[in-house]
Structure 1
Amino acid sequence: MSAHESEWTLRRLHAGELALSDAARVRAHAASCTLCGGVLRGIESNQTHFEQEHPYERFEAGVARALERRQRLEAVKPMPRRWVTTAMALAASVLVVVLARPLLQQGPGWDRSKGNGDVAELRIGGGPGPQREARPDTPEALEPGERVMLGYKAGTHRYVAAVSVDAIGEVTPLHPESGTSAPVEPGSDVRWLQGSWELTGSGAERVVLVLSDEPFSVESLVDAARRAFASANGDVARMPSLAVPGAQTHWVLLKP
């Protein structure tokens, strides 16, 4: 009897990310395997339910408001060096995501758990294809118009914050935008940060989510991200962990 397919492979099949030969093999296996077939049907059902409950049009007004806010902020900031024209434009909207729990063991090297019961997830959606989850250990290519959303289950930690760093070292606080790290929402389910983000421009962008026991300032997180970028000689894809307390998860996204 052949081995079961991982949920990650089945999600890639559903998203149309597998090569034709691999897709045919995995689909044939799922058709003959009760367990894998059930997981694939669950993925398809969850996607259909989400799109019915949260149509894309609901987010457009939030994106427009975020763009206006970003433009107002840029208008009062000093102009950066002339080569910063490719810097990220950040658009936020309110988005709530309901995900099915994993039903099969994930592929090697992919583990949402960060210890102490922590879980971190980055979800991509809003484009022409179905939503998908990015792996922390593998750069993920974005399609034009796609947005990202961040989720967590805090375990024993009590505070959460997130930032992004683009290819020229521009650091943007994602959540919260200022002040100190936010209190986590308790519960056994994954909690999603209030908003989704569209990362524009081109090149790689690193997104970092931090869960900590004690609050820390957003400014210190931004400074730590800048130091990590400098220590990687300006290569955002090779940045080390940030010098802040707590458990952190990194994703590298490749913008079109």
Structure 2
Amino acid sequence: MSAHESEWTLRRLSAGELAAAEAARVRAHTASCTVCGAALRGIEQGQAAFEAAIPFERFEAGVERAVQRQRRGTAFTTPPRRWVATTVAMAASVLVVFLARPLLEGPSPGRNGIKGGAVAELRIGGGPGPQREARKDGPEELVEGERVRLGYQADGHRYVAALSVDAIGDVTPLHPESGESLPVEPGADLHWLPGSWEFTGSGAERVVLVLSDAPVPVESLVDAARRAFLAADGNVEQMAPLDVPGEQTHWMLLKP
């Protein structure tokens, strides 16, 4: 067994993806190991330099022409209630390139592997702290002003949709806001949904992304979310997976 921590472990530590006990152990090791300590500092400095050069807001401003090139001929619909600003997968892919290429083989920290090889990711940014990927092993705390973005690798699934459920059971379709789940972007890369969201109010908010082989009516997704909320006795943190076809990923966010 190697005496040093793997790059994967150090990147998970930097991203806040390790459990408290494991994080404390790795931190203690990096404090006494010059090799691992230097590697961790390099990871943190590289992330800080990237965010200084390409802040979260770059994904939400100054890209209208790219939107038109990528989605030429597609009409934009009225945004959902919690939608913040239009952005594009092309611009978001810059983030993926910079953050994913240094990693070892396997999904990046914070991504949820879905059955069958599909991947989903929820990224948080726009607040006073650094960008980060939402934890998958417990609730992720938000601070005032932070927004979230959703990404996916479809792995053969053909349609995608997303919604959120707050602590009182209010269900908000995020992508799309009506109709049916939309076709996934072509290609095997990580794609980003065209928008970011700032969740209002306080308390818990569950975000759900669904990948399916056939389009699913948004109304059916909303109804399934309401049924799951009621089945959990109104506890959004205890909701079971939605009773809809396809593969789904859930994240729990704690609003300030």
* 2:219 match: 219
Assess, with a 3 A threshold, how the Cα gap between structure 1 residues 21 and 55 changes in structure 2: closer, same or farther.
closer
> Does the 8 Å CA contact 2:124/2:133 hold for their aligned counterparts?
yes
> What is the aligned partner in structure 2 of residue 253 from structure 1?
253
Question: Structure 2 unaligned runs (5+)?
Answer: 64-77
- Which of 8, 12, 23 is the matching residue for 1:8? 12
Taking only aligned residues, the RMSD between alpha carbons, in angstroms, comes to 3.5
Quick one: structure 1 residues 55 and 225, their matched pair in 2 at CA, closer, same or farther if it must change by over 3 Å? closer
Q: CA deviation at 1:3?
A: 3.5
CA distance in 2, matches of 1:58, 1:9: 25
CA-CA distance at 1:11 after TM superposition: 2.0
Is the 2:154–2:184 Cα contact (8 Å) retained in structure 1? yes
Quickly say closer, same or farther: Cα 1:110–1:52, change in 2 above 3 A.
closer
Residue 40 (structure 1) shift: 5.7
Residue 35 of structure 2 is aligned to residue 32 of structure 1: yes
Q: Secondary structure at the match of 2:215?
A: coil
Question: Partner of 2:165: helix, strand, or coil?
Answer: strand
1:90 corresponds in structure 2 to: 82
In structure 2, distance between residues paired with 1:235 and 1:217? 25
Which deviates more from structure 2 when the two are superposed, residues 23-32 or residues 93-102? 23-32
Give the 4+ runs in structure 1 shifted more than 6 A: 20-23
Contact 1:127 1:144 in 2 (8 A): yes
- 1:207 partner SS: strand
Is this contact kept in 2: 1:136–1:249, CA < 8 A? no
Q: Which amino acid aligns with 2:31?
A: A
Deviates more, 1:23-32 or 1:94-103: 23-32
Judge conservation of contact 2:149–2:193 (CA < 8 Å) in 1: yes
Question: 1:79 maps to which residue?
Answer: none
Number of aligned pairs?
227
Q: Deviations over 1:108-167 (max 9, x none)?
A: x97622132200000011111101111233110001110010000000100000000000
Where do 5+ consecutive residues of structure 1 fail to align? 63-68, 74-88
**Deviation sequence 1:22-61 (CA, Å, 0-9, x none):** 7863653675139x81x76356435533542456377479
Cα 1:195–1:3 shift into 2, 3 Å: same
Please report the TM-score for the alignment, with normalisation by the length of structure 1.
0.75
Could you give the per-residue CA deviations for residues 161-207 of structure 1, whole angstroms, max 9, x where no partner exists?
00000000000000011111010012222100001100111110000
Give distance in 2, aligned partners of 1:143 and 1:158: 34
Identical residues among aligned pairs (%): 50
Structure-1 separation of matches of 2:32 and 2:211: 39
1:142 aligns with 2:142: yes
Q: Does 1:176 find its partner at 2:176? A: yes
SS of residue matched to 1:254: strand
- The reply to whether residue 187 of structure 1 matches residue 187 of structure 2 is yes
For normalisation by structure 2, the TM-score amounts to 0.75
Distance 1:224 1:246 in 2: 13
- What is the one-letter code of the residue matched to 2:13? T
**Residues 224-250 of structure 1 deviation map (CA, whole Å, 9 limit, x = unaligned):** 100000000000000000010000000
Query: Is the contact made by 1:47 and 1:131 (CA closer than 8 Å) also made in structure 2?
Result: no
